[in-house]
């Protein structure tokens, strides 16, 4: 506890009934009830600062339910000004800050022990302006899709699940089945407005503060909090024709995936592996053609050599939002609320079959859980241009996603996290790496190695834009 005499320098903030201050000695947040002394006022907020247990508990958790770090306060900004004011305040007092979008991190990446979580969900405005959308950093892709479709437009590349925030996936990469045509979501953003670790509001783009633009896209929240993004839009199709094509072997699947992603025959291309009850594996390519009809089938899949095909037609929105009904089922089963030790490995194309074949026997129900999904699809490496999103240095990188759930009767989350680390090391030894989300223990040396030749520019941007190193400590990078 600080000496009573020191209380007078505590800075305070009045938001409704709450008074928040930072104890300069213990560096802990205090309320008026604890402090009992005069406060210097912080800038007034348009939104509110929450200290209640419900807000702190929620911010101490994420979709992974593996790591828990409790913050001292949660900011629900009423404006971009609020974010800048509070980051400035936190910098002055050496308090760490993390942005939080939808909290779908799985390993504590959006948490901050004893610091401030900025819950960006209140910054969710969306304005469609022809071929672009101006979007608050906390808006979800689902909300953006709905608003864009009303104008006949769509973001060109979307994640499989739309309940993620724009700022959250732009901080990571943002992958989906259209990556073969358009790159990742970070490659389709025209401008970003961020609050840096100095509390400055800065707009950046390919032609303006390029160093910041490149350090924010895929930058894991290290140099700034994205409060607004200008996102590219393209004309939206009305419907999709989806082909789920089954192959007898892994090699047959990946060969046709490579051919299709190079040719660009489909607007969307992914793939998955699933285990039958007898232990055998099914290898499925999911390929989607926009506004196609049965008359196109022969041209689209006639030469693809599949063993069987399941074909369906869907309105474009239903296709984009296809995970929503699955989520409902997982919620009912209780699986949605269980720990999710996920990993998305990036495999070098030339070693993909070898690495997957070596890993498949390890993917027992015990080690992946009851409702796991295993993704496997190719990314043409050159399409992803944002420098901090690190793929394999080969023509193709395969995304190999093990979406594990620690279900009752399966291994616990810690065992699955250890398996993720073992897989990561196997992949790294073969020249690959990982998508910077997921539950994979990572040291600072791992991060340096992960970023490779992009590291010096990233470190320089960190020194420039977050010199006190207060932003997003949950990533464990700096
Ligand atoms: C069900 C599910 C499906 C997924 N599907 C895909 C997929 O298809 N493709 C894909 O690429 N990824 C996918 N992911 C991974 C996803 O992109 C990440 O988990 C992402 O972090 C989720 O976004 P979020 O809004 O929940 O971010 P959060 O978990 O809230 O935050 C992620 C990180 O970014 C930081 N951050 C958040 N908002 C901001 C901001 N505005 N400015 C700066 N930093 C910020 C946080 O501090 C944290 O470090 C999926 C995850 C889940 C749980």
What CATH number corresponds to the domain at position 146? 3.30.465.10
Closest residue by CA, ligand 1 atom 15: 437
What would the mean pLDDT of 84-91 be, rounded to a whole number? Answer: 95
Asked whether residue 16 carries a pLDDT value surpassing 80, the answer given is no
Considering the domain architecture, whether residues 128 and 85 belong to the same structural domain is answered as no
Examine the domain organization and report whether 218 and 353 are in the same domain.
no
CB-CB contact of 398 with 253 (8 Å): no
Same domain, 250 and 340: yes
Ligand 1 lining (C-beta closer than 6 Å): 62-63, 98-105, 109-110, 120, 137, 159-161, 164-165, 167-169, 171-176, 220-221, 225-226, 437, 472, 474-475
- Residue 462 has a pLDDT of 98
CA of 173 to the centre of ligand 1 (A): 9
What pLDDT score does 471 carry?
98
Distance from residue 234's CA to the centre of ligand 1 (Å): 23
CB under 8 Å to 61, separation ≥6 — which residues?
68, 103, 111
Strands (E), 291-415: 308-315, 343-348, 373-380, 396-403
What integer best gives the mean pLDDT of the chain?
Answer: 92
E-strand ranges in 23-86 read 29-31, 40-41, 48-50, 73-76
| 435 within a domain of the structure (yes/no) | yes
221 and 276 together in one domain? no
Q: Give the nearest ligand 1 atom to 173 CA.
A: 11
Nearest CA to ligand 1 atom 51: 104
State whether 288 and 418 are in the same domain: yes
Q: pLDDT tens-digit profile of 234-261?
A: 999 999 999 999 999 999 999 999 999 9
What is the Å distance from ligand 1's center to 312 Cα?
30
- Is position 463 within any domain? no
Ligand 1 pocket mutation pick from 171, 342, 404 by most atoms within 8 angstroms of CB? 171
Question: What is the CA(172)–ligand 1 centre distance, in A?
Answer: 7
Q: Ligand 1, residues 63, 99, 326, 477: which to mutate, most atoms within 8 A of Cβ?
A: 99
pLDDT of residue 43: 75
Query: In this structure, is residue 338 part of a structural domain?
Result: yes
Q: Do 306 and 210 have their domain in common?
A: no
In this prediction, residue 41 carries a pLDDT of 57
User: What is the mean predicted confidence (pLDDT) over 402-410?
Assistant: 97
Q: Within this chain, do residues 368 and 415 fall inside the same structural domain, yes or no?
A: yes
Q: Which of 89, 121, 153 is the last residue of a domain?
A: 121
- Residue 470 inside a domain? The answer is no
Residue 295, judged by CB atoms within 10 A of its CB (0-12, 13-18, 19+), counts as exposed
Q: How far is the CA of 393 from the centre of ligand 1 (A)?
A: 24
pLDDT of residue 356: 98
Q: Average pLDDT in the 111-124 region?
A: 97
Q: How many A from CA of 241 to the centre of ligand 1?
A: 28
Ligand 1 centroid, distance to 130 Cα (angstroms): 26
Residue 183 in this model has a pLDDT that exceeds 60: yes
> Could you tell me the pLDDT band of residue 214, with boundaries at 50, 70 and 90?
very high
Residue percentage of the chain with pLDDT more than 90: 90
Residue 296 pLDDT more than 60? yes
Q: Ligand 1, residues 119, 145, 172: which to mutate, most atoms within 8 A of Cβ? A: 172
Summarize the confidence of residues 179-198 as an average pLDDT.
98
**pLDDT of the residue at 34:** 39
Total domain count for the chain?
3
How many whole angstroms from 163 Cα to the centroid of ligand 1?
Answer: 9
- The predicted-structure confidence for 128-175, as pLDDT tens digits, reads as follows 999 999 999 999 999 999 999 999 999 999 999 999 999 999 999 999
CA triple 478-20-117, angle to 5 deg? 35
In this structure, are 272 and 404 located in the same domain?
A: yes
Q: Rounded to whole angstroms, what are the CA distances from 155 to 103, 206, 325?
A: 22, 19, 22
For residue 22, the model assigns a pLDDT of 53
* Residue 265 alpha carbon to ligand 1 centre in Å: 29
Q: How high is the pLDDT of residue 279?
A: 87
Q: Is the pLDDT confidence value at 178 over 70?
A: yes
- Nearest one of 468, 386, 382, 444 to 212, comparing CA atoms: 386
- Choose one of 87, 116, 345, 437 to mutate for the ligand 1 pocket test, by most ligand atoms within 8 angstroms of C-beta: 437
The residue whose two tokens read 């990556």 is: 179
Same domain? 178 vs 300: no
Within-domain flag for 146? yes
Distance 220 CA to ligand 1 centre (A): 9
Give the pLDDT mean for 271-300: 96
CATH of the domain at 83: 3.30.43.10
For residues 129 and 112, membership in a common domain is answered with: no
- Between the CA of 277 and the centroid of ligand 1 the distance, in Å, is 33
Q: Relative to the CA of 475, which ligand 1 atom is closest?
A: 49
Mean pLDDT, residues 260-277 taken together? 96
Confidence of residue 37 (pLDDT cuts 50, 70, 90): very low
Among 247, 218, 101, 210, which Cα is nearest to 162's?
101
Supply the pLDDT for residue 44.
Answer: 86
The ligand 1 atom at the shortest distance from the C-alpha of residue 106 is 19
Q: How confident is the model at residue 107 (pLDDT cuts 50, 70, 90)?
A: very high
Q: Are 193 and 279 contained in the same domain?
A: no
Query: Which of 118, 168, 186 for mutating ligand 1's site (highest number of atoms within 8 Å of CB)?
Result: 168
Query: Within a domain: residue 433?
Result: yes
If asked whether residues 168 and 216 sit together in one domain, one would say yes
> Looking at the domain assignment, is residue 73 inside a domain?
yes
Question: Does residue 200 have a pLDDT over 70?
Answer: yes
pLDDT at 42: 73
Which residue's CA lies nearest to atom 4 of ligand 1? Answer: 161
Q: Which domain holds residue 225?
A: 124-235
Residue 13 vs residue 415, higher pLDDT: 415
Q: Who contacts 333 (Cβ-Cβ below 8 Å, separation ≥6)?
A: 370, 371
User: Which of 100, 121, 142 is the last residue in one of the domains?
Assistant: 121
Distance 49 CA to ligand 1 centre (A): 23
| From 26-30, 51-55, 207-211, 399-403, the region with the lowest mean pLDDT | 26-30
**Atom from ligand 1 closest to the CA of residue 472:** 47
Which atom of ligand 1 lies nearest, measured to the CA of 165? Answer: 25
Section 361-367 average pLDDT: 95
Give yes or no for a contact between 451 and 188, defined as CB atoms under 8 angstroms apart: no
Tell me how far the alpha carbon of residue 454 lies from the centroid of ligand 1, in angstroms. 21
CATH of residue 345: 3.40.462.10
Residue 2 lies in a domain: no
Q: How far is the CA of 86 from the centre of ligand 1 (A)?
A: 22
Which atom of ligand 1 lies at the shortest distance from residue 474's CA? 49
> End of a domain among 235, 262, 282?
235
Over 80: is that where the pLDDT of 14 sits? no
Handedness of CA 155, 161, 165, 167 (dihedral sign): negative
Instruction: Answer whether residue 344 shows pLDDT above 90.
Output: yes
Q: What is the pLDDT of residue 276?
A: 87
């Amino acid at each position: 506890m600080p000496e009573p005499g020191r209380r007078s320098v505590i800075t305070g903030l009045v938001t409704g009934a709450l008074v928040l201050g930072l104890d300069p000695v213990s560096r802990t947040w205090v309320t008026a009830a604890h402090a009992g002394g005069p406060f210097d006022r912080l800038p007034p907020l348009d939104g509110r600062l929450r200290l209640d247990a419900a807000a702190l508990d929620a911010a101490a958790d994420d979709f992974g339910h593996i790591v828990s770090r409790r913050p001292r306060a949660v900011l629900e900004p009423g404006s971009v000004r609020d974010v800048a004011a509070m980051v400035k305040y936190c910098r002055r007092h050496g308090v760490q800050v993390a942005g939080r979008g939808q909290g779908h991190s799985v390993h504590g990446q959006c948490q901050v022990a004893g610091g401030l979580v900025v819950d960006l969900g209140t910054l969710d405005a969306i304005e469609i302006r022809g071929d672009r959308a101006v979007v608050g950093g906390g808006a979800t892709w689902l909300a953006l899709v709905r608003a864009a479709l009303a104008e006949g437009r769509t973001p060109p590349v979307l994640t499989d699940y739309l309940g993620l925030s724009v700022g959250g996936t732009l901080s990571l990469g943002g992958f989906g089945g259209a990556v073969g045509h358009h790159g990742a979501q970070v490659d389709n953003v025209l401008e970003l407005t961020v609050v840096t670790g100095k509390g400055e509001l800065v707009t950046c783009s390919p032609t303006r503060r390029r160093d910041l633009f490149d350090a924010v896209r895929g930058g894991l929240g290290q140099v700034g909090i994205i409060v607004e993004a200008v996102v590219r839009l393209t004309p939206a199709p009305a419907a999709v024709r989806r082909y789920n094509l089954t192959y007898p072997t892994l090699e047959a699947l990946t060969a046709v995936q490579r051919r299709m992603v190079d040719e660009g025959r489909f607007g969307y291309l992914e793939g998955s592996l699933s285990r039958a009850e007898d232990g055998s594996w099914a290898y499925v390519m999911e390929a989607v053609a926009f506004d196609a009809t049965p008359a196109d089938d022969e041209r689209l899949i006639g030469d693809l050599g599949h063993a069987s095909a399941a074909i369906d037609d869907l309105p474009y929105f239903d296709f984009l939002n296809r995970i929503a009904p699955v989520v409902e089922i997982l919620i009912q089963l209780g699986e949605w609320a269980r720990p999710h030790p996920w990993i998305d490995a990036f495999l070098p194309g030339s070693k993909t079959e070898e690495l997957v074949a070596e890993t498949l026997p390890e993917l027992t129900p015990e080690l992946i859980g009851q409702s796991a999904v295993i993704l496997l699809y190719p990314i043409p490496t050159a399409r992803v241009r944002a420098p901090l999103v690190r793929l394999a240095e080969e023509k193709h990188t395969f995304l190999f996603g093990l979406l594990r759930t620690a279900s009752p009767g399966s291994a616990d989350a810690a065992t699955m996290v250890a398996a993720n680390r073992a897989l990561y090391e196997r992949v790294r030894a073969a020249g690959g790496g990982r998508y910077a989300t997921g539950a994979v223990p990572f040291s600072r040396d791992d991060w340096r190695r992960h970023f490779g030749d992009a590291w010096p520019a990233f470190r320089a941007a960190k020194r420039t834009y977050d010199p006190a190193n207060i932003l997003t400590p949950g990533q464990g990078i700096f």
